Amino acid sequence: MSKLSLAKLERHLYGAADILRREGMDAATYKDYIFGMLFLKRCSDVFEAARDTILNKKVEQGVAMEEAEAYYGENPDYYDEFFVPERARWGYLQSKLSDAKTPFGSVLDTALGALSEANESLEHVLDHISFMRVQSNKRVVSDDACKDLVRHFSRDGYRMRNEDFQFSDLLGSAYEFLINMFAESAGKKGGDFYTPRDVIRLMVRILKPQPGLSVYDPTCGSGGMLIISREYIEQSGGDTSDLRLCGQVNDASAWAICKLNMLLHGIPGADIQLQDTLLHPLHRESGELERFDRVIANPPFSQNYTKSNMEYPERFRWGWCPTTGKKGDLMFAQHMLAVCKPGGMVATVMPHGVLFRGGEEKKIRAKFLDQDLIEAVIGLPQNLFYGATIPACILIMRPNLTGHSPNPDKPETRRGKVLFINADAEFHAGRAQNYLLPEHVEKIASSFERFEDIPNYARCVSLEEITGPANDYNLNTRRYVDNSPPPELHDVRAHLLGGVPVAEVEAHQLLFASLGFEESHAFTRRKDDHLYLDFAPGLPDRSAIRPLVENDAGVQSRAQALHDALSGCWQEHSPRVADLPERRNLNAVRSEFLSGFVTALLPLESLDRFKLAGIVATWWTETLPDFKTLVENGFAGVIDGWIDAIADAVEDDEAGPAIDPFRHKLVRRTMDDYLERIGTAKTDIARLKSEKEAFEQSNAPEDLDEEELAAWNYAKDIERQMKELKAENKEALKELKKLEIAAAKIRANDADKRAAAAARAALKPVLEKIAEIEEAVEPYEKIKTNLTAARSRYRSLTDFFVAELKGRCGALCDDEKRQLVLELFAQDVRAGLDAAVTEKRQEVVKFLEGVWDKYKVNLAELRSYRTDIEGKLGDLLMTLRYI
Amino acid sequence: MTTEQLFQKVSLGELLELEYGTSLPDKDRTGLGFPVFGSNGVVGHHSQFLVEGPGIVVGRKGSVGAVCWSAERFWPIDTSYYVVPKGQTDMRWLYWLLYSTDLKRLDAATGVPGLNRNDVYALKVYSPKPEEQSFIATKLDLIDEAIIRTEAVITKFKKVRAGLINDILAHGLDAGGQLRDPVAHPEQFKDSPLGLIPKEWECDPIEKHTISSAYGPRFPGECYSERGNVALMRTTDMDIEGNLSLEQMPLAELPLDEFRAHFLEVGDFLISRSGTCGIGAVFHGYRYPVLPGAFLIRFRLASSLLPEFLRLYVNSARGARRIRDLAEGGVQKNIRGSALLTHQIPVPSTDEQQAMLLTVDALREDLDKQERELLKLHKLKSGLMADLLTGRVRVLEEVTL
């Protein structure tokens, strides 16, 4: 049986959402039902397997099957995971589908209730899901929809035991997908419980959680920060069993989502509390607040808070923001600092306002700075968060027990300094949202690690400079790191007299050199003029610029050098990928690739460190599902996974194929000839179809209007003519046939023959017309026959496509499989590198086109052109006798 | 030959056919090669073409009746028609004819605008013989060319001006009125917090040259009145160069005494602090008393800093970039008055400021003149089109008669 891939499961869940969308539900409402159904199915599937194991064991030990079922199969004590009572088992639910007596919604509600009753850890988690819920006289989910859901989740190929998944955390990932989907469609509300995963990955990369530490999120929403902290350790090859994950959230629905998230990710030990963190922090140890090694959060932006009944007010030792005026942000930051262990780290998302607002907030900020608590301020692009378009920042802080600067718990070189990273200009613009891509995350994270100045991007600023009168405790990133593009230069003399200023060309020297482009191919030096250049004869017009750059020998050879360096680097490091199934050290391999790639390619001076690292980071993230499969199922598993995905796409699931199966890299590598045959069949079909259409549209009468013309079909018209003709002469034709049969008989006499001939002669015009029509329609029939043949050829090729692919891949030995997968991985890295180089070439072309447009023609020339044309215009007006 | 024979009124359908374009989704376009036309001009490029050039594209859906010319082979997509001329009809003349015809008014559809080609065919137009058509077309092309070349001169001129302002603000003018040269005479320059500046200049916070400054006052919205006694200047009343359109200002009925302290005086410098951030303008007087809006900050400057000079500086590429860095906040950016007061700017002597302004103004005048000429050419074009395409003025008379 093929394993369930993430993409396939995601589409399956999307299909379930469709059932509820048809009921007119929005994401906020239907999400709970999908979560509930998914959870029921998962528990039931896992339970059935555990139950079978227990029963088999008991029967083996000599217990009668009936007895084993009654005493052991139904005894919760024998199960490590959830015990699923009879009424919550999937088979039971299915059996109730045809039961007309009980509403099916109540069957489901009973199942959920029974499940949480039988398992203490599920207390209250499923309470808010009610399939029988009524809103103004109408069931929110109709019984039909409830049944459709169960049928949908019962479909073959979607069993949810661990061994059914391509990698073990697949269910957790699918759940994340659902949460993301709901958050995205929930608009502003979505931001309340969901922080985009790219932002979290960035924060976790900076915090670097380690095995054995505790991680705490005081406003944990759906729990993404905790999940990804754990994932980080896992991918570093670390042991997550003694990691302590704690979260608190103030919204019951988010709390339930978070609890389920933890369960589906296989983290039943996570300590998730439901309460307002500022009022009642619930993670306590013998009356004291518990301290954590890593505190990470994205608190709700700009909210009011209240002081009444507040516990542990000593947390807010740096100051009290006004309770009104939506200034609760720094209260969260203080809480985080207060519960962070000495030597620990805090990372929090904050709105920009806390960086520069005055009043109490300024006083708190001043204390943070005077105590040297702030390590970095990272300005993020705007519109990253659901429902909040305002730009935000990330504050990285470390508590300081001494209470004064320098902070001994900061790394030595960072004491008394704040690193400002202005990353607000680098993002991927989506339709409704902006995103941080792996390359952006990598750049920010590695800038933080390097903790040094990067022009127009990052700057290390001393506390003196921030607290001095010029800046007065203002942390606005733009003050310290200006990343706005320089204004466009205009050389007045060049505009007036022509020529390209040497200075502007020289400013791009590095860009040219990075590609191996020789400046003299575009410009020639003037005699005795060291300030201006001319365009080279190789550039007769503007359109020659792009080919000049792309075909340049230096540019080509530099590209080759990059490829060579990449091959060398791949040779050296790809064995680490091959070792993954054994060593499972994903993050270590990732870092090795990052640094190996940068070390190998940086000396060529084509791309900067961050761009190079970005290429690997992007490739790594895109390939990560494959790596996870590799770790668990080896190279053969990776190929099987690809084949499964291709097979799914060919089958064309209800949500439409997620990928184009015929363009998959595995297919292109192994099925080239087969694809060509499919291609030929496809072009044949297209050609025959257009021939067919052309025939149908031909011979239209001239007097048709537009609408009639569109509806015109020659083939149908002929058919109609034929029918009419035959109907009009039905009797005569019948008679003729009879006479001809009689005349054809051996015993036929002359009279019979004469009668037949006479009848035929009488019908001659009709018969001729029929023959004429038959002749006209003949090519059409031929086209149709050929089209049918081409279609069936295409169908059989596509029908056997997956089988053929499986056959070809199956015939490979293990070594060949490893080779194939590694080659395809390498191909992806090369594609990333090529894209980056192309982007650079584009920059050169853009620059050359820019100076061309600016300086190719000078003002005097333009004015003289204009004078010419004005002369001609004058002549014209004269001719027309206007003047 | 009579005029009637030479110049007949016919329906457009006799002169041309409109053919549907073919869909070509964005993702299928190759990006280089032949232009792809949507309903209102080029939307991309593709390696293949559908129609031999030159040709005409008419907007069918969306930009109804927009008329575009393609000099080369092209691909019209399905939101557009392309023109197939009938008989000897001159393509370029057809272009001018369609261009001058208001096809937009034929918009038939509800919802998404749409153009029915039968409506176009039914339009009656004057159609001269083919040779006269091409003659008219070349004449109209001529004026189009004049407009394009004038625009090219203006664009160029604007670049020259931008370059000059940058040079002047970086190097200043020496006593002889010439630009200082930092390469030939580095000794005339010194280091400052603003980088290299001429030796004679100061680098001062704006505060040092300010007599007073204030935010625009707030008052209740219901005071706005068409018969008001005070005009209110908003950020939208100034363009990006800080030119004021005072006649657009709304009026308000306000107690004069209460607001007198806020009235602008001639020579006051204004800067936008939110919305458009950091654009400077100078008030030169108006027939009503004028109040600065709440998003403006007013500076009354000492005689050592000419308001027009400060405006030139803050609106220049050089100055604007630094002012922008003062802005705080997310979506609604804001510059604080206190940040502006401590903001450092280069301050030449008033004589030099004056000389710099004179140079820049001279260029401004030249530019204005060109722009007026351009406007004139556009009007001339409309007039000529009307005359030539309706046969009011004949082009070929001398030739044929």
A761 and B CB contact within 8 Å: no
Nearest by CB to A495, from B152, B160, B328: name it: B160
Mean pLDDT across chain A:
90
Which residues from B are below 8 Å from A705, CB to CB? 118
Are the beta carbons of A873 and B329 separated by less than 8 Å? no
CB-based burial, B24-37: b 16+ in 10 Å, e otherwise: beeeebeeebbbbb
Structure-token match 């994401």, residue found: A27
Minimum CA–CA partner of B183 in chain A: A531
Distance CA A52, CA A558 (A): 63
Are the beta carbons of A389 and B330 separated by less than 8 Å? yes
Q: What is the pLDDT of residues B279-311, one digit of tens each?
A: 999 999 999 999 999 899 999 999 999 999 999
Contacts of A641 (CB under 8 A, 6+ apart): A3, A5, A166, A625, A626, A629, A633
Amino acid at A769: K
- For residue A569, the model assigns a pLDDT of 94
- For residue A658, the model assigns a pLDDT of 61
Which residues from A are below 8 Å from B156, CB to CB? 495, 857-859, 862
Q: What is the pLDDT of residues A490-526, one digit of tens each?
A: 888 899 888 999 999 999 999 999 999 999 999 999 9
Mutate to test the interface with B, among A702, A862, A883 (most CBs of B within 10 A): A862
Longest dimension (CA), chain B: 83
Closest CA to B40 of B56, B13, B59: B59
- For residue B399, the model assigns a pLDDT of 42
Minimum CA–CA partner of B146 in chain A: A869
User: Facing residues of A424 across strands?
Assistant: none
A495 and B CB contact within 8 Å: yes
Q: In what order do the strands lie in the sheet with A271-274?
A: A271-274, A244-249, A214-217, A292-297, A340-351, A392-397, A374-379, A417-422, A458-462
Are the beta carbons of B150 and A876 separated by less than 8 Å? no
Distance CA A517, CA A246 (A): 56
Q: Are strands A500-501 and B251-252 parallel, antiparallel or unpaired?
A: unpaired
Contacts of A289 (CB under 8 A, 6+ apart): A281, A283, A312, A315, A338, A339
Which residues from A are below 8 Å from B162, CB to CB? 488, 490
From residue A535, alpha-carbon distances to A498, A523, A856, B73 in Å are 10, 4, 8, 29
Are the beta carbons of B328 and A476 separated by less than 8 Å? yes
Nearest by CB to B321, from A479, A484, A858: name it: A484
DSSP SS3 for B274: strand
Amino acid at A509: Q
A866 and B CB contact within 8 Å: yes
Are the beta carbons of B153 and A490 separated by less than 8 Å? no
Are the beta carbons of B329 and A353 separated by less than 8 Å? yes
Mean pLDDT of A151-162: 90
What's the gap in Å between the CA of B3 and the closest CA on chain A? 17
Q: How many CA atoms lie within 13 A of A772 on its CB side?
A: 8
Contacts of A426 (CB under 8 A, 6+ apart): A381, A440, A443
Q: What is the pLDDT of residues A235-276, one digit of tens each?
A: 888 889 999 999 999 988 889 989 999 998 989 899 999 999
- CA dihedral angle for residue A316, residue A318, residue A322, residue A324, rounded to 10 degrees: -50
**Cα separation of the two ends of chain B:** 8
Which residues from A are below 8 Å from B152, CB to CB? 857, 862, 865-866
Mutate to test the interface with B, among A493, A697, A866, A868 (most CBs of B within 10 A): A866
Distance CA A569, CA A564 (A): 9
- For residue A698, the model assigns a pLDDT of 83
Take residue A504 and report the two structure tokens written for it.
């502007």
Mean pLDDT of A618-636: 91
Query: What is the full DSSP assignment across A704-745?
Result: --HHHHHH--HHHHHHHHHHHHHHHTHHHHHHHHHHHHHHHS
What's the gap in Å between the CA of B316 and the closest CA on chain A? 10
Nearest by CB to A873, from B146, B327, B330: name it: B146
Q: Count H helices, E strands: chain A?
A: 34, 18
Is residue A270 classed exposed, middle or buried when 0-12, 13-18 and 19+ CB atoms within 10 A define those classes? buried
Q: Is the pLDDT of residue A180 over 70?
A: yes
What's the gap in Å between the CA of B161 and the closest CA on chain A? 8
Q: How distant is the alpha carbon of residue A89 from its chain centre?
A: 34
DSSP SS3 for B43: strand
Take residue B29 and report the two structure tokens written for it.
């376009």
Q: What is the pLDDT of residues A217-233, one digit of tens each?
A: 999 999 999 999 999 99
Please, what sign has the CA dihedral across residues B95, B96, B97, B99?
positive
From residue B221, alpha-carbon distances to A735, B250, B252, B253, B254 in Å are 97, 12, 9, 10, 11
Minimum CA–CA partner of B344 in chain A: A470
Query: Phi/psi at A91 (nearest 5 deg)?
Result: -60, -40
Question: pLDDT category, A81, cuts 50, 70, 90?
Answer: confident
Query: What is the full DSSP assignment across A461-502?
Result: EEHHHHHSTTTTT---HHHH---PPPPPP--HHHHHH--EEH
Closest CA to A410 of A349, A358, A460, A484: A460
- For residue B354, the model assigns a pLDDT of 95
Q: Are strands B34-38 and B75-76 parallel, antiparallel or unpaired?
A: parallel
- For residue B401, the model assigns a pLDDT of 34
Which residues from A are below 8 Å from B395, CB to CB? 879-880
Are the beta carbons of B163 and A478 separated by less than 8 Å? no
Are the beta carbons of A390 and B330 separated by less than 8 Å? yes
Helix A609-651 to helix A814-855 angle (10° resolution) is 120
Q: Is the pLDDT of residue B5 over 70?
A: no
A65 and B CB contact within 8 Å: no
Closest CA to B280 of B314, B322, B327: B314
Which residues from A are below 8 Å from B179, CB to CB? none
Question: pLDDT category, A339, cuts 50, 70, 90?
Answer: very high
Q: Which residue did the predictor score with more confidence, A380 or A762?
A: A380
Is residue A513 classed exposed, middle or buried when 0-12, 13-18 and 19+ CB atoms within 10 A define those classes? middle
Are the beta carbons of A706 and B164 separated by less than 8 Å? no
Distance CA A52, CA A60 (A): 12
Are the beta carbons of A488 and B160 separated by less than 8 Å? no
- For residue A179, the model assigns a pLDDT of 84
From residue B107, alpha-carbon distances to B59, B112, B124 in Å are 11, 10, 17
